[in-house]
């Protein structure tokens, strides 16, 4: 006799209630990915420095034209609430105080990948494309390069490009946002 196991997928509401009631330890970071609660990797110094460099550079470049959100959740659908390292959002006077930003609010997402490169490419990137986020970047620390993804269609980014040290990328969805690979990687 075979046994069938039922898998339970959590909604964003379930996930937020678990956080509010203390079911999820506050000493760890989690994100909801396609109904599953994923414990996020610890942040190392190189990763943190890259995120800080991006944050500083973007705030200087775009000012109040967009909101630069660092390591905070965005809502993709009822079952996914990832926390990209950086999300560039449409400006709002309330800074999304009353509700998390949704796909319609997100102009560009950035993941900084050191130990999570495979996960970011194989899980998060397709999720961002499927949701229709116009641009996604991965700062690939092991290979010291910037991976650019744009124009999502049918859950896949149609435009991809690699940028190395000495090269820069000007965002097509955020006017004034330019990514100098060497400056960001340090």
Check whether 42 has a pLDDT greater than 90: no
What's the CA gap between 27 and 99, in Å, rounded? 24
Check whether 1 has a pLDDT greater than 70: no
Per DSSP, the three-state class of 139 is strand
Write out the residue range of the structural domain in which residue 136 sits.
Answer: 44-185
Q: Cβ distance 115 to 41 under 8 Å?
A: yes
Q: Looking at residue 122, what is its pLDDT?
A: 95
In a domain, 180, yes or no: yes
Number of folded domains in the chain? Answer: 1
Q: Cβ distance 146 to 136 under 8 Å?
A: no
In a domain, 33, yes or no: no
In a domain, 52, yes or no: yes
Across the chain, what does the average pLDDT equal?
Answer: 94
What's the CA gap between 71 and 86, in Å, rounded? 6
Q: Cβ distance 109 to 127 under 8 Å?
A: no
Check whether 24 has a pLDDT greater than 90: no
In a domain, 58, yes or no: yes
CATH of the domain at 117: 3.90.1570.10
> What does the pLDDT look like over 76-121, one tens digit per residue?
999 999 999 999 999 999 999 999 999 999 999 999 999 999 999 9
Average pLDDT over residues 58-76: 95
In a domain, 53, yes or no: yes
In a domain, 39, yes or no: no
Q: What is the distance of C-alpha 91 from the center of its chain?
A: 18
In a domain, 177, yes or no: yes
In a domain, 29, yes or no: no
Cβ burial 128-167 (10 Å sphere, 16+ → b, else e): bbbbebbbbbbbbbeeebbbbbbebeeeebeeeeebeeee
Q: What is the pTM of this model?
A: 0.93
Number of H helices, E strands in the chain: 5, 10
């Amino acid at each position: 006799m075979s046994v069938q196991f039922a898998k339970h997928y959590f909604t964003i509401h379930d996930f937020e209630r678990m956080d509010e009631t203390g079911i999820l330890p506050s000493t760890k970071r989690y994100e909801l990915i396609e109904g599953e609660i994923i414990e996020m990797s610890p942040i190392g110094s190189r990763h943190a420095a890259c995120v800080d460099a991006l944050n500083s550079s973007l705030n200087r470049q775009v000012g109040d034209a967009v909101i630069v959100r660092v390591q905070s959740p965005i809502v993709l659908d009822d079952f996914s609430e990832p926390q990209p390292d950086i999300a560039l959002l449409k400006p709002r006077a309330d800074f999304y105080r009353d509700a998390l930003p949704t796909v319609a609010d997100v102009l560009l997402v950035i993941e900084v990948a050191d130990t999570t490169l495979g996960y970011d490419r194989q899980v998060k990137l397709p999720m961002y494309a499927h949701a229709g986020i116009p641009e996604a970047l991965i700062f690939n620390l092991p290979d010291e390069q910037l991976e650019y993804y744009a124009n999502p269609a049918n859950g896949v980014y149609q435009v991809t490009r690699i940028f190395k040290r000495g090269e820069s990328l000007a965002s097509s969805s955020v006017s004034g946002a330019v990514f100098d690979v060497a400056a960001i990687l340090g």
